[in-house]
Amino acid sequence: MLSSAISARLSERSIHYGWVVAATAFLTMLVTAGTIGAPSVLLLPLQREFGWEASSISAALAIRFFLFGLMAPFAAALMNRYGLRRMALTALCIIFSGMGLSLFMTELWQLIVLWGFVIGIGTGLTAMVMGATIATRWFTARRGFVVGLLTASTATGQLVFMPLVAALTEAYGWHSAVIFIIAMLLVCAVAMLLFMRDRPSDLGLRPYGQTVDEPPAAAALSSNSPIDILIEAAKTRIFWVLFLSFFVCGLSTNGLIQTHFVSLCADYGMTPVAATGFLAIIGIFDFVGTVASGWLSDRYDNRWLLFWYYGLRGLSLIWLPFTGFEFIGLSVFAVFYGLDWIATVPPTVKLTAQHFGREKANMVFGWVFFGHQVGAATAAFGGGYIRDSYASYLPALMVAGIACLIIAPFVLSGARQRMQPAAA
């Protein structure tokens, strides 16, 4: 098998195959995240072509966010049972089908079915739990860094793809943007088929940084359903602290800014290409911020990291309306907000793994991530509803900013850090 040959060749150079697995997951999560983010850029073109209202399109996007989160814990269970590669390929096929069929849609219900349900389920089968699963299975040392890297791929894919989608849409129509995404999904499927392996033991390896063997736990874990894991986790205070904080995270990031930023800027006379340019800046600085957050989460108290991330994000959202939506003001916002976009994920994953263990971490984090997507769905629909009702997105920005400021001290007081060796 190609992966075995590559692993042997890399071992001769003291390189662990886990980095190949992480790179494959990075590409897949980057593209599937782009699939999640692309419909946000297409909101205005769909309104113009079909006459659909912003709240109607936002309802489809809210369903997508909700299912993207709801599928996460079940995706973790399926990955534990059937393997990472098999589930990732299944997810890519579902997303491919949803995007392909959307080329022929003409009715609102078709948008809701394809971009709400089909793509929501498909992307939910990977979601962030794939990154959490790979980090906890393949890495003992540098786990926080890997979580940060893979998390950055998700957030960056949602944002960096947007300028490409906007440019293609403006030049050739929204169908061309969908075709571009379909082509990228095919590339991911080939990479996943060739390079992904489920566990280090498949190649006779230990997780990166682990010096002793540990007994396999997958068989015992497979008997635990996601519902059983939820019932067990829900009895703990730390679960609800992480769940509620991640609700606010989704409310203040992809549910609001990712979904409505282009339309928000259009209210101030900005073109979609210019608006997505600022989203790309957010994505670039998010990559830096999230990877740095992973490094920090390996070394410092994760509660304090979350306190600062949520607090600073809340201040940036409250400040956004005062930028005047001019170049300098928006540039400062994009840099500051981008560094904090999804920096919350590495500390959240670390706290989850510390409190619930390596083998349960991905399913527990799946339920925590569901809270994130409930928040995202709330903001996706609520932002569109507020825009239709008040002809402004500003109340939505204020609500999200204040929510961040409220949750920051709650995380600090509600979660207790368990000390672990720095390598873990």
pLDDT digits (tens, 9 = 90+) for 300-344: 888 999 999 999 999 999 999 888 888 899 999 999 898 887 788
CA-based torsion, 163, 164, 167, 170: positive or negative: negative
Alpha-carbon dihedral 272, 61, 76, 198, rounded to 10 degrees: -40
Range 350-367 average pLDDT: 81
* pLDDT surpassing 80 at residue 155: no
Three-class SS of 256-298? HHHHHHHHHHHCCCCCHHHHHHHHHHHHHHHHHHHHHHHHHHC
DSSP state of 128: T
Q: How far apart (Å, rounded) are the C-alpha atoms in residues 408 and 406? A: 6
Could you tell me which of 59, 73, 29, 30 has the C-alpha nearest to residue 246? 73
More confident residue, 43 or 11: 11
Higher pLDDT pick, 148 / 367: 367
CA 85 to chain CA mean position, Å: 19
Bridge partners, 208 (sequence order): 139
Q: What residues contact residue 365 under an 8 Å CB cut-off, 6+ apart?
A: 72, 76, 128, 129, 132, 348, 349, 352, 353
d(CA 194, CA 399): 46
Please report how many Cα atoms fall inside a 13 Å half-sphere around the Cα of residue 128, on the Cβ side: 33
**Tell me, what's the pLDDT at 131?**
81
- Please, are residues 400 and 81 in contact by the beta-carbon 8 Å criterion? no
Residue 171 carries which side chain, given as an amino acid letter? A
| Mean pLDDT score, 200-211 | 85
Question: What letter would DSSP give residue 208?
Answer: B
Mean pLDDT over the full length of the chain: 84
Question: Exposed, middle or buried, 301 (CB in 10 Å: 0-12/13-18/19+)?
Answer: middle
* CA–CA dist 287, 285 (Å, integer): 5
The secondary structure of residue 253, as a DSSP letter, is T
Distances from the Cα of 357 to the Cαs of 22, 218, 286, 317, in angstroms?
21, 13, 28, 35
Amino acid of residue 235: K
CA distance linking residue 145 with residue 297, whole number of Å? 8
Q: Which residue has the higher pLDDT, 179 or 140?
A: 179
| Annotated domain spans of the chain | 10-199+226-414
Residue 405, classified by CB atoms within 10 Å of its CB into exposed (0-12), middle (13-18) or buried (19+), is middle
> pLDDT at residue 284 above 50?
yes
Residue 244 has a pLDDT of: 95
Name the residue with tokens 């949803």.
98
Q: Encode pLDDT of 206-215 as tens digits.
A: 888 887 766 5
Please, what is the angle between helix 174-195 and helix 18-41, to 10°? 170
Return the CATH number of 10-199+226-414, one of 1.10.3720.10, 1.10.10.10, 1.20.1250.20, 1.10.510.10. 1.20.1250.20
